[in-house]
Homo-oligomer: A and B are copies of this chain.
Amino acid sequence: MENVKALIFDVFGTLVDWRTSIARETKAILGPLGHQLDWPAFADAWRAEYDPAMQEVRSGKIPFCKLDVLHRRNLDVVLGRNGITLDEPTARHLNLAWHRLDAWPDTSPGLKRLKRKFMIAPCSNGNISLMVGLARRNDLPWDAILGSEIAHDFKPKARVYLAACEALDLPPNEVMMVAAHPRDLAHAASNGLRTGFIFRADEFGPGKSGKPPTEPVDVSSTSVEDLAGKLGA
A135 vs B128: C-alpha distance in the bound complex, in angstroms? Answer: 18
Contact A119 B136 (CB under 8 A): yes
Contact A168 B129 (CB under 8 A): yes
- A169 at interface by CB-CB < 8 Å: yes
A88 vs B142: C-alpha distance in the bound complex, in angstroms? Answer: 32
Q: Nearest Cβ in chain B — how far from A169, in angstroms? A: 4
Q: What is the number of residues of chain A that contact chain B, defined by CB distance less than 8 Å?
A: 20
User: Smallest CB-CB separation from A144: which chain B residue?
Assistant: B145
Partner of A144, one of B119, B141, B144: B144
Contact B150 A143 (CB under 8 A): no
A168 / chain B contacts, CB cutoff of 8 Å: 128-129, 132
Contact B129 A135 (CB under 8 A): no
A135 vs B141: C-alpha distance in the bound complex, in angstroms? Answer: 11
- A131 at interface by CB-CB < 8 Å: yes
- A167 at interface by CB-CB < 8 Å: yes
- A17 at interface by CB-CB < 8 Å: no
Partner of A167, one of B119, B128, B135, B141: B128
Q: Nearest Cβ in chain B — how far from A18, in angstroms? A: 19
- A149 at interface by CB-CB < 8 Å: yes
Mask, A168-211, CB within 8 Å of B = 1, is 11000000000000000000000000000000000000000000
User: Smallest CB-CB separation from A96: which chain B residue?
Assistant: B169
User: Smallest CB-CB separation from A66: which chain B residue?
Assistant: B169
A150 / chain B contacts, CB cutoff of 8 Å: 149-150
Mask, A128-161, CB within 8 Å of B = 1, is 1101100110000111111001100000000000
Q: Nearest Cβ in chain B — how far from A11, in angstroms? A: 14
A132 / chain B contacts, CB cutoff of 8 Å: 119, 143-144, 168
Residues on A close to B: CB < 8 A?
Answer: 68, 119, 127-129, 131-132, 135-136, 141-146, 149-150, 167-169
Shortest beta-carbon contacts, A-B, top 5: A144-B145, A129-B169, A128-B167, A132-B143, A132-B144
